[in-house]
Chain A
Amino acid sequence: MDKIVIEHLTLQYADGTESLRDVSLGIRENAVTVLFGPAGGGKSTLLRCLNRLNDLTEVRSASGRILIDGENILDPKTDVVALRRKVGMVFARPVVLPMSIRQNLCYGLELAGEKRRYKLDEAVERSLKLAALWDEVKERLNEPAIALSGGQQQRLCLARSLALQPEIILLDEPTSGLDPISTGKVEAALQELKKEYTIVLVPHSVQQAGRTADYAGFFLQGELVEYGDGKSIFTNPRDKRTEDYVTGRFG
């Protein structure tokens, strides 16, 4: 079933650059959908539309619709705070907030009004386990989060989104700064997570796209060139441009 349906989305930034041109696709529930392609293709922009983070940047015009569970989230009346709790995001560089590991995890929940200690403790343990970080940090939850290694920080960021019990998780090149071992841990966590969540990933390489994708969309200069299930797009692409990119002829 499609969790997210994007219909004819076109988006222009204030400086006149067109970032997305008439993009339409459906994103499946309980699967990893990968958006890949060379830099400047509009992948991140699309990702940031899904939780309305683009509200922070200067967007000149956006047209089209994005339906999540049938509701158009681009509607001005959308409760963006509720939307962002439902659609979590992990960024390219791990950004831990300047507080303890525990506080990082509780931040979103406390803002949502959760004050009960046992609920917060529960969320901390559950989300850290999901992000495969629990064993490494369970003894030092009150230490500053910045003391963690880069790979641990990124998994903490993942856990931080998970603590809010979202339905969709967006990941924007989450492993671009990580070593292969940490990258492997994050990718393995994603495969576990997709059983419960809808995952949209912008990978940092074609190889990662190939490893993780259940479904994949190839973006080139703001256009969705090809969209289909992961296997066929990487082994038997329909479009010449997709084939050239996947086989490494450009990009």
Chain B
Amino acid sequence: MKSILPLNRHLIQRLGFGLITFMAVLTVVPIIVTVIYILVRGAPAISWEFLSGFPLEGMTAGGILPAIIGTFYLTIGTAIFSVPLGIAAAIYLSEYAADNRWTRLIRISIINLAGIPSVVYGLFGLGLFVLFLRFGTSILAASLTLSIMTLPVIISTSEEALRAVPPSFRTVSISLGATRWQTIRRIVLKEAVPGILTGVILGLERAAGETAPILFTGAAFFLPRLPVSPFDATMALPYHLFVIATQVPNMPIQIQYGTALVLLAFVLTMNIIATVIRSRARARREW
């Protein structure tokens, strides 16, 4: 019995290890399959005309330019509101706030904000921005709605990045006659920027791909022209995809997957940029 035991242990270890490896590989499969599937089915639709043209013949032909531009505007609009607010909140929580009931309440709110279903944000945006503040279904209202949804991501990742800066840097800076704000601006923020940027991009990428929050607040079914002011409604890639996948009869499947591919490329590009920034910062890290 004694001589068999080590062999059994060895076998169990190998089985367990194999199982864990298999599980890990399994997580890669969906993303690869999705990307390949969308790529194969959508690639034939991609052409200059598709990317730079307006939808034609009840959207069953032509391009998706208004949706691309719209998603671009919405992402920029979301960034304008959520980035300064999110970073400011993160600085407050990481650098200034004491650990008391009030800051715990703020933290719990942020966590819960992240858990609210996006369609609820849509409804909230409709009530507050579109109707009460009379922004109408517009880029402005949709951007503000997306901003609220994005804030928790930006705040929590930025706070994490700020907290990762060693406390000793702050002490040393203060001891050299820096004020708290000078320390934050010249040392802490400088070190945290890559992490903050990663959080910002991940947050905005989520905003770019969302349908529900813009559904009632700014997205248009079809517009014959590009939006010219923040008070115009706009077409957007995710909503356009929803429309042509479910609402338009006799829709060529190619255009659906082409649209999906463009959206996927938009979001993945942002994701890759975030990853590159993060890994570059890690390699450069000096402590």
Question: What per-residue 1/0 map shows which CB atoms of A75-106 lie under 8 Å from chain B?
Answer: 00000011011001101010101100000000
Majority secondary structure, B binding face:
helix
Measured CA separation A247–B43 after assembly (Å): 83
Residue contact A51 to B287, C-beta cutoff 8 Å: no
CB-nearest residue of chain A to B170: A56
Question: Contacts of A209 on B, CB cut-off 8 Å?
Answer: none
Question: What per-residue 1/0 map shows which CB atoms of B151-187 lie under 8 Å from chain A?
Answer: 0000000000000001011111111111100100011
CB distance from B97 to the nearest CB of A (A): 14
Q: Does B286 contact A (CB under 8 A)?
A: yes
Measured CA separation A111–B166 after assembly (Å): 21
CB distance from A111 to the nearest CB of B (A): 5
Selected from A82, A84, A93, A146, the residue in CB contact (under 8 A) with B175 is A84
Question: Contacts of B190 on A, CB cut-off 8 Å?
Answer: 98
Q: Does B210 contact A (CB under 8 A)?
A: no
Q: Does B191 contact A (CB under 8 A)?
A: yes
Residue contact A146 to B176, C-beta cutoff 8 Å: no
Question: Contacts of B176 on A, CB cut-off 8 Å?
Answer: 84-85, 88, 107-108, 111, 160-161, 164
A interface, size bucket: 20 to 34
Residue contact A111 to B168, C-beta cutoff 8 Å: no
Residue contact A53 to B175, C-beta cutoff 8 Å: yes
CB-nearest residue of chain A to B183: A111
Residue contact A112 to B168, C-beta cutoff 8 Å: no
CB-nearest residue of chain A to B176: A108
Measured CA separation A93–B190 after assembly (Å): 22
Measured CA separation A66–B186 after assembly (Å): 31
B interface, size bucket: 20 to 34
CB distance from B283 to the nearest CB of A (A): 13
Question: What per-residue 1/0 map shows which CB atoms of A39-53 lie under 8 Å from chain B?
Answer: 000000000000101
Question: What per-residue 1/0 map shows which CB atoms of A170-211 lie under 8 Å from chain B?
Answer: 000000000000000000000000000000000000000000
A97-B187, A144-B286, A146-B286 given; A164·B172 CB < 8 A: no
Residue contact B177 to A85, C-beta cutoff 8 Å: yes
Question: What per-residue 1/0 map shows which CB atoms of A105-121 lie under 8 Å from chain B?
Answer: 00110011000000000
A85-B177, A111-B176 given; A97·B169 CB < 8 A: yes
Residue contact A111 to B174, C-beta cutoff 8 Å: no
Residue contact A84 to B177, C-beta cutoff 8 Å: yes
Further pairs besides A84-B175, A95-B171: 14, Cβ < 8 Å: A53-B171, A53-B174, A56-B174, A84-B177, A85-B176, A95-B168, A97-B173, A98-B169, A98-B190, A98-B191, A107-B186, A108-B176, A111-B182, A161-B175
A-B contacts, 6 listed (Cβ < 8 Å): A53-B171, A84-B175, A84-B176, A91-B168, A91-B171, A98-B169
Q: Which 6 residue pairs across A and B have the least CB separation, nearest first?
A: A108-B176, A85-B177, A146-B286, A95-B168, A84-B177, A89-B175
